Chains A and B, each alone.
Chain A
Amino acid sequence: MARSPFPKKISDSHKRVDLIFSELPTEKTLQKIIKMTPDRIIRDITDSGLRGRGGAGFPTGRKWTYAREAEGDEKYIICNADEGEPGTFKDREILDRRSGKVFLGMAIAAKAVGANRGFIYLRGEYSYMAKDLLGEIDEFNKLLTSKSVDFKIELRLGAGAYVCGEETALIESMEGHRGEARNKPPFPATVGFRGKPTVVNNVETLVYATMIISIGPKKFEELGTKYSHGAKVFCISGDAGLKGMFELELGMKTDEFVNIFGDGATKAVQVGGASGQCVPRKKFKDTILGFEGVPTGGSMMLFNSSRSMYNVLKNYLEFFTEESCGQCTPCRVGCQQLLRGIEAVKTGRLPNTYLDDLIRVAKTMRITAKCGLGQSVANPFISIVDNFREEMMHF
């Protein structure tokens, strides 16, 4: 594959941020946390405007408030490191380079909601990290004990199932069951792991919580836009001139993003991985990368004019067909029908108008599927078929 001839540098004026991978003294920060009251922590996190960085974007302060108010003799903090979305690799890198800040984030959450046990659910594909991570966790637990903090972290390994990134499926898996999502409500904040109030936060969210406590909510809140406060780690792959991980302020326009990271011929950006939205070139100017526009869990895949969007969509649908857990019919059958459907249209076995029927199937899945996996299949499907219809058709 020919690489981009002009890898561009990010200009200094650009909204790069350095919060996630900055160094932070663990012990000193822990002392600061010990001195804070739970109310103060929740107020700071709420004021900062932090929303979940795993993809769904639920306000972190609110999640913690629910868990704090929930009745329970035991409460749990779970760090969701089951990063399976195609195109994301930030959680691995964060745990690799700055695990201490993740542990601190868990300690902050624990103090805020009154939990004394924490778990890191690491995906099976990252099990090579487990040995080092166990050592670091052990060290952190010892530090907690030396400061008489009643909190302990444990590591749990996943076994290769994308759906376990969904918080209730993750909890099922941690309890030793098939990773099948539960009905919501009740939400994990009230009925979670072992039926107790549980906070499930993404790795990156926890690190931002640590940074908010460390630098104060105001500095974080000032970053980004009115609806998308703070920054985010973007993982860039595909036909990009510049690949890798970049922490950027939220609220950037897609065309600005493409100018920096594209290879000069970008025709579409898939924002948020297989379950995200496809933004075509004609919409680059009006699409904001943030909660008010198209949100992302980190994955940013760029496609240039040499790519067939049919192949891209087919690849996504094959992914969902394999990873659907199969417990609810809309997702189990829907994914297969969408995949077979676009193949039938492309090869001319069914008329091009069948694409409209498939869009209706996708819309039905969005409403009727039990968990986020099935509901979000409609995102790539509708945005790709709508914007690149001629590439889906048989001529």
Chain B
Amino acid sequence: MIDINAPVTDPGVKNALDKRGNARESLLPILLEVVKENSFLTDTAMKEIAGALDISSAEVFGVASFYEFLPIGYNGKNTIRVCKNISCYIEGKDEIIKAIEDFLKIKAGETTRDGKFTFKTANCLGWCHKGPAMLINDTPHTDLTPEKAIALISEYT
């Protein structure tokens, strides 16, 4: 059972609710805000949001699990997304992915031990004429070479 009167304990959730209000329609902006603060969504966070919006926590989970940018459970502080669609494939995204995997010592889809990076492959990022492309958090980087990609990621270590 969710007690809708229970106080919100997660500071990320509190901040998101203060900023975005508690209308049903604001669910997506609230979730995005929490992910921005906390890097990912926890069960507690989703339950607290459900309480504040007076909807079931299953519904919050249903929405969160639908979207790529709303990681649940665990995610690194920084997320790296390399485009894997055909134009970037032609420009050599495989070499970029391999270089990043070797550098971070993880496979695509995994998070580094220190929790600093989650590395993912992504669908079209909208930089097809300047591939290979990747996003580090919100920032796009284009015309990548393996060296350039590693140098960019190193700035976040």
Residue numbers of A with Cβ under 8 A of B are: 1, 83-89, 91-92, 123-128, 156-162, 173-180, 235-239, 243-245, 270, 274, 299, 301, 303, 307, 311-312, 315-316, 319, 322-323, 325
Contacts and interface: CB of A to CB of B under 8 A. Distances in A.
Contact of A126 (B70, B84, B126, B128): B126
A175 B123 contact: no
B29 A156 contact: yes
Contacts of B91: 1
A238 B87 contact: yes
A312 B67 CA distance: 26
28 contacts: A86-B124, A87-B124, A88-B126, A89-B126, A89-B127, A91-B126, A123-B126, A124-B68, A125-B122, A127-B138, A128-B139, A157-B28, A157-B29, A157-B32, A159-B67, A176-B28, A178-B62, A235-B128, A236-B129, A237-B129, A237-B131, A238-B86, A238-B87, A244-B129, A270-B86, A301-B128, A303-B90, A311-B89
Given A161-B67, A178-B62, A315-B85, A125 B125 contact: yes
Contacts, number: 123
B19 interface: no
Given A159-B68, A175-B25, A178-B66, A85 B86 contact: no
Interface in B119-157: 122-131, 135, 138-140
Nearest to B81: A125
Contacts of B70: 159
Nearest to A87: B128
A156 B32 CA distance: 11
Given A159-B67, A245-B129, A174 B25 contact: yes
A307 B90 contact: yes
Contact of B85 (A91, A176, A319): A319
A243 B86 contact: no
Closest 3 CB pairs of A and B: A160-B68, A176-B27, A159-B67
A274 B66 CA distance: 21
Contact of A237 (B67, B69, B87, B138): B87
B90 A325 contact: no
B129 A128 contact: no
Given A158-B67, A176-B63, 17 more contacts: A86-B87, A87-B85, A88-B124, A124-B68, A124-B69, A125-B125, A160-B67, A161-B67, A175-B24, A237-B87, A237-B131, A238-B90, A244-B129, A245-B129, A311-B89, A312-B86, A315-B85
